[in-house]
Structure formats: structure tokens, C-alpha cells
Chains A and B, each alone.
Chain A
Amino acid sequence: MSLLMELRGITKSFPGVLANDHIDLILNEREILAILGENGAGKTTLMNILYGLYSPDAGEIFIRGSKVNIHNPRDAIRLGIGMVHQHFMLVPVFTVTENVMLGVESTNGAGILDRKSVSKQIADISGRFGLKVEPDSMVEDLSVGVQQRVEIIKVLYREADILIFDEPTAVLTPQEAEEFFKVVHSLVDQGKSVIFITHKLKEVLEIADRITVFRNGKVVGTTTPAESTEASLASMMVGREVILTVDKKPSSPGDVVLDVADLHVMDDRHLEAVKGVNFQVRAGEILGIAGVQGNGQKELVEAMTGLRSCTVGKVTLLGKDISRASPRTIRETGSAHVPEDRRCDGLVLPFPIKDNLVLNTYYEPPFSRGFNLNGDEIIKTAEQRVKEFDIRTPSVFLPASTLSGGNQQKVIVAREFSRPIKLLIASQPTRGLDVGSIEYIHGQIVKKRDEGCAVLLVSPELDEIISLSDRIAVMFGGKILDITPAKEATKEGLGLLMAGIRSNVQTETA
């Protein structure tokens, strides 16, 4: 394999953070290079530099031996570099064809867009690499898996030789991920070179030719799948021994706390997102709902927390019907919610930390009496909670935006856990967090379970579900396909269910 691209000494810093610290990297022709690292380790920054979205403070880039300067995406595209971002860069109201040709539009003589010839070329690429799409469909109507194909076609349309994928399997089922890997192999077979960024250890071992590990902005080492195991890679990523499973004792479930019966919920586009779901959660157990994002989990959780009304069905909490209740009433009945988007939904970032710590209890005594808000009480409680949950901040008066992701999540946890709660609904509680914070949050969840709380865990991270849950439900297409005890569940079996393929196992009537 000959050397295709080399990065030497790339350094990039942002205010307060050294994102890339003298990075050296090599990519060979027709190879699949995996860049592994935690969130915040600097992988995406480096790729953005390669694609011309950022310019490095220092360092050089060589392609096929000659030095190149990449000042903007146009330069990168010209050099044959193409990037498929983690969050898709598509215009929802445009068709596939329009999205693909944006920026390199073909026009006929009169300056009118030539959609037809582009559609033909798309069909061509589609056939060559196994990426089935309908050129005239609107992107917003497409599923996530198909949207990703559009992104790949975009890159191939511009004749890229080096393809960079940023967390490509984050939104795919295990089966779709397999499809994706097939496409990657096809790309390499036809002469392309692939870099893909991930934090998923299993994938890396499965598909990469070489693995470069990042930590805290530096390259920690380069290895191959033959020479590594999940555990060795994990330690390289984190710098210490990592315990990959959560230590927990078996659960002893008590009474039913949450009862969901034949729930139907509509989404924002007035289509049914939840199509008749039944399950129960008991005190002292964790029910994990697995499934790829977009199968109705968001709407399900919103229905259970009062943020969305259900059209049909009943949700009962501790015997009380909360199907049409307001979020406040549900909370007061004893439910707590850790939302999936902590920055937008769980916190008011410009507000001081102290206010965020009482965000949903400020109107009750002792924080308020009638029309009076008791500022001193809030400050006192805030300082107490900061100590108890080890939230790193010099002052509770600072806005919550000054906290790191892990500490922000701790604020939400501190807030929700400081009340006597009977039901905890956690949506993607460890999204975007470093390993240390993940360990902490997982520990807190298990602790609550042991205290007798019922826990509903919704997460697309299968590993998290498997390690935490006592029972696992799989959601697909708005329905719960199966609920099995965690001990009996296998990753393959769950993967099939997540793709909608029912197994022969009888559905457990919860």
C-alpha cells in the first residue's frame, strides 16, 4: 500500500481548549483507517481541518508527497477529499438531485439548471457502489439510512478519492451498519481510501485496516485489529483501566409503578409515531427501550412526561391516570425526567446554575411562598447540591453554559434525583459524555433502582441498554416488538428486532 496522505504536526486550539496537539497521521491508498477516541478528543476537529472548514495553527498536509494548502471546502473537494458529516448536511426541502448538485450545478446553455443529467449520473453512481436512492424524492421524506446514502453519493459525485466518515453508524441499526460496511468495502475495492471516525470499539475491530487512537487532542498510538482487543483500545482511549460493564446486583421488582396501555401518539407531522404500545415498569427494576432513533421513542417519552398528548390509550402512574396530565402534575406525582437533549431541553443555559438546579421546583415551598420567590433558599439548596453531586464550578451564580457536558448532566441529575421519585425516565442520559461521566451517571441510575425507584431507560446505545437493564424492550416503527429479560437477550437478537425482524420468541405480555 502506498502512502496517500500524511499529516505532520497539525495543531489547532480554540479559546480554552487545545483541540489538536501536534498530530501526525498517515493514510495509505485503498485502506480503511479508523480514528478512535472519546467525544472531545479532537477527531472531528482534525477532519474539519482536512476538509477546509478550519485552518490549523501549525502543521502541514501532504497528498501523494506534495504539500497542499486547504483553505476551504472547495480546495478540499478539488484535492479529492470528501466528507460525510455526523449530522447530515442536507437541505430537507430539496430533492436528492438538488442536494447532490448544490455547489457544482450543471446548467444548460441558457443558465437553467440541468436536473436530468445529474439524475442520470446519480443513477450511475448508485449502481456502481450499491447505494439505492430515488433522485427525485425529497430528502425530508427519506429515512436516515437513505439520507446517508445521499451524502455518500454527494461525495462520490465530486469524484473524491479520500472519503472521511464522521460517526457514520451513529444513526443506523446493526443491520444497516452491516450494509454500510459493505459499501465501504466496495469503495475501497474501486480504488478509494476511507477514514472513519468513531468511538465504537466493536466496529473498529471489525472493519478497520489500521486504527489510530486519539486522546485529549493527541495521537496516543496506532495499531491494527490483529494487535488489539476492545479492552486494550478502551484503555488507550481513556488512559486507564476501564470497566466496561456496570456492576449491579440482580433486581427485585416490586409493584407496578408505570402502566402504559395501548398508547397511540402522533408526531409533529400528524403521522402516528407510536402505534399501540403496552408495557409496565415495576419499582426496583430498569426497563430499557432499545431501538434506533426515530422509531417513536421521542414521542413515547414525551407522551409519558406530559409534553405531548396521546390520541388513544392510557398511561397510569402509581394508579393515577396521567394520560392527559400536564408536565407539572406528572412531576408532582413522583416522576423525574432526564431529557435527551440536555442543552436545549434540560437546562436554561444562560441562567445561573443555582436557578437551573431548582428549575422545576422553584414554585414550591421553601423556594416560593405564594408570590414570593426566596432567593436565599435557592442559593443555599444549590450549594448543597453542588457539593453532594460533585459538580465542578467555582460559583453557583455562573451561567450553566460555563459547565462541561458532564457537569451539565450532573446538574440535571442533581435536580431530578433530589426529590423523592418513584419513576425515572432517562432518555439518552450519557449522550456525548466522557467515560468518567458515563460511569457516574450509570452508577446513579442503578442506585436509584436499588432504592426502589422504577426506571425507564431509552437509548440507542445497545451496550448501555444491555449493561444497565433488567428487562429489554425493542422499539421499531412505533411498536414494541418484544420484551425480554436482559439475561436472555443477545446482541444479534436485539439487532434483528431493532431492524423490525421479529424472532419466533413469543412476545412477553409485561
Chain B
Amino acid sequence: MSQAVSMNSNAQGGSRRRFTVGIFLLAEAAALLLLLIGTGGMVSTFVLASKRAGVDIAAPDLVIPTWASILAVAIFVGLAGVWQLIKGFKRYTNAVLITMISLGILLFLIWAARDNSLNLTGMLVSSVISATPIALAALSGIYSERSGVVNIGIEGMILLGAFLSVVVASVTHSLIIGFLTGILAGMLLGALHAVLSIRYRINQIISGTGIIILALGITNYFYRAFLNPNPALNNSGPILASLPIPLLWRIPVIGPILFNQSPVIYIMFLLILFTHFFYNYSKWGLRIRAVGENPKAADTLGINVFRLRYISVLISGGIAGFAGAYMSIGQIGFFQESMSAGKGFLGLAAMIFGNWNPGGAFLGSLIFGFFDSWQNKLSILQVGIPSEFLAMAPYIATMVVLAGFVGRSRMPAADGTPYKKGEA
């Protein structure tokens, strides 16, 4: 959805960008150096052991001398900045940038854990958990936008999925039926968005916004009308337990993060792999991509543009509904007003970050998930920064990503443009 209106070719011109990135790296180095204050002689301990399913998975603690490591990395980042200003990393600029930013975040953690200990494994585990709804939202976005339909209404589809899945699960006492309901709910709103965008060709952003408002209204209304007076309808019972994968879950550090999570998270990973495969190696994936890039060309080759777009948007809605069901019955077991909390939008940002590819989108979701979870961990540590500011991190990160700071992204060429048959 990054629409470049600026036709001034210098806006992202080579030398200008090199300069900006270089200055940024130097600034980061300087900021990191600030962290040195008062950390002399301290050590930061990263606890890597974890306890899952009642079993201790031992791992050595990572003890890092705070002052020395901050200085070392800060100098490293500074040198990178200087190199960037002088020569520039050219093709590797993005990779370098991401690495340096990651190092900076790592350093911030080291500083936060000064004279204290921080359960790093635990943090990563909760990062993946936080990332999951965002990743699912990103996948939802990908399915829709690859076919050329912008879907801002993911937030609303998540909400409706969350709501209906709880109600049905509470009544039927079956989580599976609840999840299916969530998917159907998302598809329902997806169908509405599809009809409005494809058949009536209305502005897709308006359609998406309308869907969010509708979903907010419907869920909050019926929550107050039915769920408040009947709490039994808002209690879907025990949430999905984590499903440890035999053997693998005992691997230190990686085990708890990847192999002992909710089944939904496994489904998410599978979905990511499937999506990548689908779009790059299958016949229908090729056709959908064509519809998203040049619908007129696809039309002249006998491909049914409208049908493929409808299907894509329905799938998009279904995944979003699934994400909503995960957030309600999969994670807490009940529904709260406005519980989607912006995950839909973060998902869209992750999608853009990942250049509309599932792998990249997952990476983006992980980063956002990390920022989401660090607020909890870091406030326990009493870092000294008010937790509200930490909570702003995912949103600021999103804006930075969207500014193309992490490289130019390439959206499907026909994204957002309604298709009219017979247009010359």
C-alpha cells in the first residue's frame, strides 16, 4: 500500500539515502554510548533456561559484561555508519541496517538487564505468541492484496471472528466448532468487502473502513445486549493447550520457542510455507498474481479476474477470522470489547515490510511481536522508562517501516484499482 506520489526521483535517490542511513547509524551508535552511563562493573544475565509443561529445560545463563558489550557494539555500529557515509553498502544496505537495528535492540536489552537478570527465552517465546495474530493478519492481507484488492478491514474481520467464535464455542463447548465459526465470520465480512470492492467498485479503503466500523458496532452491541446479561455465553472454557512436539521440544532455547506452542501457531507456520509455495509454484498462484499485477492482461487470456479476486478476498477474510478466534478462544477464553487492538493494522504493516511475501511478513510480525511483548518484561525490570512509552514501540516501528526506511517495497501493480471490463 505504499503509494509513491512523489515523482521527484531524488526522494529516494541513491546518495541521499546513503547519507540518511549513515547518519542514522551514527545516531544509533551515539544513543548506545549513552547507555554506558552508570553501567560500569555490572553484568547482565540472560536466563536461557525455561520451564514448560512442568519440565525444566536447562540451559546455561548468558552472563554479559554490560559496559564492555555496550561499548563494543556501539563502536561497531558507529564504524558501520562511517563506512556507509563514505562508501555505502549498496546492495547490502538493507541487511546491514536490519542487523544494526537488531544489535541496537539487543543492546537495549542488555542495558535493561544490568545488574539484573532477564529471561530471554521467555521473552522470545512470548514474542512468537504475540507475533502470531499479527502474522495471521499479514497473511490475510497478502491473500487479498496479491489479487489486487486492498483490505483495510482486516481489523474488523478479526473482531467479528473473535466474537462469534466465543459465543458458539461457549454454547457448543467445542473449540473446533468455535474456530470454524471464526473463519466463517471472517469470510462473511470478506464477502461483504469483496462485493463492495469488486462488484460495486467502491473505493476499497472506504469499504474497509466501513467494515471496521460495522464490526466494532456489531460486536460491541451484541456484547452488551447478550453477553453481559448472560456470562455463560462468554466463556468458551479452557483455552487450547500447548502441543509439544515430541523430542524437539526439549532442545534448549529453540525448543520452547518453536516446538512447544499452541496448535494455532503450528498452523500459522504451515500456512506461511503453503502461501509461499502457492504463489510461486502453482498454476492458480500464478494466475492470481497476474490478476493483481495486470488484470487486463489476465482477462485477455481468458482468466476470470472477478472470480479469482472474490475467492482471494474470501480466503483473506477467513484467515482474519481465524486470527480473531485465536485471540479470543485460543488465548484467553472470552471476548472483550475492541480486543483486536490494532493487530490488523500491524499485520498490514508487516505485510508491507515483507514486500507482500509470507516469509518477510513473518519476520516483520516477529519484530512487532517482540516489541509487543517487551513491554511486559521490561516493566518488570523497572527499566526507568514508563511502560506507556515502551508500548508505543510497535507503532513507531510500523511508521518507520512504512517510510520505506527499510528499503523500497514493490506492491502488486494493480493493488487498489477496481477492475472494469472493457476499459481500453
A interface list, Cβ under 8 A from B? 44, 48, 51, 53-54, 72-74, 77, 83, 85, 88-94, 98-99, 102-105, 107, 111-113, 154, 266-268, 270, 307-309
With A93-B413, A266-B13 already in contact, 11 other A-B pairs whose C-beta atoms are closer than 8 Å: A48-B422, A53-B299, A89-B297, A91-B297, A94-B286, A94-B290, A98-B286, A103-B287, A107-B282, A113-B282, A268-B9
Chain B contacts with A in 333-376, Cβ cutoff 8 A: none
Does A102 lie within 8 Å of B7, measured CB to CB?
A: no
Does B301 lie within 8 Å of A102, measured CB to CB?
A: yes
Q: Knowing A107-B283, A113-B282, A309-B9, say if A92 contacts B413 (CB, 8 Å).
A: yes
Contact with A along B271-304 (1 / 0, CB 8 A): 0000000000111001101100110111111110
10 A–B contacts, CB within 8 A, in A order:
A48-B422, A51-B300, A85-B300, A89-B296, A89-B297, A91-B297, A94-B290, A102-B298, A103-B287, A268-B7
User: Which of B13, B281, B287, B413 is within 8 Å of A102, CB to CB?
Assistant: B287
Does A102 lie within 8 Å of B10, measured CB to CB?
A: no
Q: Say yes or no for B424: interface residue by CB 8 A criterion.
A: yes
Does B424 lie within 8 Å of A44, measured CB to CB?
A: yes
Chain B contacts with A in 1-19, Cβ cutoff 8 A: 7-10, 13-14
Does B294 lie within 8 Å of A89, measured CB to CB?
A: yes
Q: Hey, which chain B residues are within 8 Å of A105, CB to CB? A: 283, 286-287
Does A308 lie within 8 Å of B9, measured CB to CB?
A: yes
CA distance A65 to B14 in the complex (A): 62
Q: Hey, which chain B residues are within 8 Å of A308, CB to CB? A: 7-9
Q: Among A73, A89, A91, find the residue whose CB has the most chain B CB atoms closer than 10 A.
A: A91
Q: Knowing A53-B422, A92-B413, A267-B9, say if A103 contacts B282 (CB, 8 Å).
A: no
Q: Knowing A51-B300, A103-B301, A113-B286, say if A307 contacts B293 (CB, 8 Å).
A: no
Does A54 lie within 8 Å of B422, measured CB to CB?
A: yes
Q: Hey, which chain A residues are within 8 Å of B290, CB to CB? A: 91, 94, 102
Q: Hey, which chain A residues are within 8 Å of B303, CB to CB? A: 102-103
Does A270 lie within 8 Å of B286, measured CB to CB?
A: no
Q: Please count how many residues in chain B sit with their CB below 8 Å of the partner chain's CB atoms.
A: 27
Q: Hey, which chain B residues are within 8 Å of A53, CB to CB? A: 299-300, 422
Question: What is the chain A residue whose CB lies nearest that of B291?
Answer: A91
Q: Hey, which chain B residues are within 8 Å of A266, CB to CB? A: 9, 13
Does A90 lie within 8 Å of B294, measured CB to CB?
A: yes
B301 to chain A, nearest CB (A): 4
Chain B contacts with A in 21-59, Cβ cutoff 8 A: none
CA distance A112 to B283 in the complex (A): 7
Question: What is the chain A residue whose CB lies nearest that of B410?
Answer: A93
Q: Hey, which chain B residues are within 8 Å of A307, CB to CB? A: 7
Does A77 lie within 8 Å of B302, measured CB to CB?
A: yes
Question: What is the chain A residue whose CB lies nearest that of B297?
Answer: A89
Q: Hey, which chain B residues are within 8 Å of A270, CB to CB? A: 9, 13-14
CA distance A88 to B7 in the complex (A): 24
Q: Knowing A112-B281, A113-B286, say if A103 contacts B298 (CB, 8 Å).
A: yes
CA distance A102 to B10 in the complex (A): 36
Q: Among B14, B290, B296, B424, find the residue whose CB has the most chain A CB atoms closer than 10 A.
A: B290
CA distance A266 to B10 in the complex (A): 9
CA distance A74 to B300 in the complex (A): 8
B409 to chain A, nearest CB (A): 13
Does A73 lie within 8 Å of B300, measured CB to CB?
A: yes
CA distance A113 to B293 in the complex (A): 19
Q: Hey, which chain A residues are within 8 Å of B14, CB to CB? A: 270
Q: Hey, which chain B residues are within 8 Å of A102, CB to CB? A: 286-287, 290, 297-298, 301, 303
User: Which of A73, A92, A268 is within 8 Å of B293, CB to CB?
Assistant: A92
Q: Knowing A83-B300, A113-B281, say if A92 contacts B424 (CB, 8 Å).
A: no
Q: Hey, which chain B residues are within 8 Å of A85, CB to CB? A: 300
CA distance A449 to B303 in the complex (A): 51
Q: Hey, which chain B residues are within 8 Å of A112, CB to CB? A: 281-282
CA distance A408 to B224 in the complex (A): 58
User: Which of A44, A111, A154 is within 8 Å of B283, CB to CB?
Assistant: A111
Q: Hey, which chain A residues are within 8 Å of B283, CB to CB? A: 105, 107, 111, 113
The 8 closest A-B pairs by CB, nearest first: A103-B301, A89-B297, A74-B302, A105-B283, A73-B302, A91-B293, A91-B294, A89-B300
Contact with A along B237-268 (1 / 0, CB 8 A): 00000000000000000000000000000000
Does A73 lie within 8 Å of B9, measured CB to CB?
A: no
Q: Hey, which chain A residues are within 8 Å of B289, CB to CB? A: 91, 94
Q: Hey, which chain B residues are within 8 Å of A48, CB to CB? A: 422
Q: Hey, which chain A residues are within 8 Å of B282, CB to CB? A: 107, 111-113
CA distance A415 to B14 in the complex (A): 38
CA distance A112 to B14 in the complex (A): 39
Q: Knowing A112-B281, A113-B282, A113-B286, say if A309 contacts B8 (CB, 8 Å).
A: yes
B351 to chain A, nearest CB (A): 17
A340 to chain B, nearest CB (A): 15
User: Which of B8, B297, B298, B302 is within 8 Å of A72, CB to CB?
Assistant: B302
B309 to chain A, nearest CB (A): 16
CA distance A72 to B304 in the complex (A): 10
Q: Hey, which chain B residues are within 8 Å of A111, CB to CB? A: 282-283
CA distance A77 to B9 in the complex (A): 42
Q: Hey, which chain A residues are within 8 Å of B9, CB to CB? A: 266-268, 270, 308-309
Q: Hey, which chain B residues are within 8 Å of A154, CB to CB? A: 301
Q: Hey, which chain A residues are within 8 Å of B286, CB to CB? A: 94, 98, 102, 105, 113
B302 to chain A, nearest CB (A): 4
Q: Hey, which chain B residues are within 8 Å of A77, CB to CB? A: 301-302
A273 to chain B, nearest CB (A): 10
Q: Among A51, A88, A94, A107, find the residue whose CB has the most chain B CB atoms closer than 10 A.
A: A94
Q: Hey, which chain B residues are within 8 Å of A94, CB to CB? A: 286, 289-290, 293
Does A73 lie within 8 Å of B299, measured CB to CB?
A: yes
A240 to chain B, nearest CB (A): 27
Q: Hey, which chain B residues are within 8 Å of A54, CB to CB? A: 422
CA distance A61 to B77 in the complex (A): 72
B307 to chain A, nearest CB (A): 12
CA distance A102 to B303 in the complex (A): 9
Question: What is the chain B residue whose CB lies nearest that of A90?
Answer: B297
A40 to chain B, nearest CB (A): 11
CA distance A99 to B301 in the complex (A): 10
Question: What is the chain B residue whose CB lies nearest that of A73?
Answer: B302
Contact with A along B296-318 (1 / 0, CB 8 A): 11111111000000000000000
Question: What is the chain B residue whose CB lies nearest that of A158?
Answer: B301
Question: What is the chain A residue whose CB lies nearest that of B296?
Answer: A89
CA distance A104 to B422 in the complex (A): 22
CA distance A151 to B108 in the complex (A): 55
Question: What is the chain B residue whose CB lies nearest that of A114?
Answer: B283
Q: Hey, which chain A residues are within 8 Å of B299, CB to CB? A: 53, 73
Question: What is the chain B residue whose CB lies nearest that of A307?
Answer: B7
CA distance A74 to B286 in the complex (A): 18
A116 to chain B, nearest CB (A): 13
CA distance A182 to B173 in the complex (A): 74
Question: What is the chain A residue whose CB lies nearest that of B283?
Answer: A105
Q: Hey, which chain A residues are within 8 Å of B297, CB to CB? A: 88-91, 99, 102
Question: What is the chain B residue whose CB lies nearest that of A267?
Answer: B9
Question: What is the chain B residue whose CB lies nearest that of A85?
Answer: B300
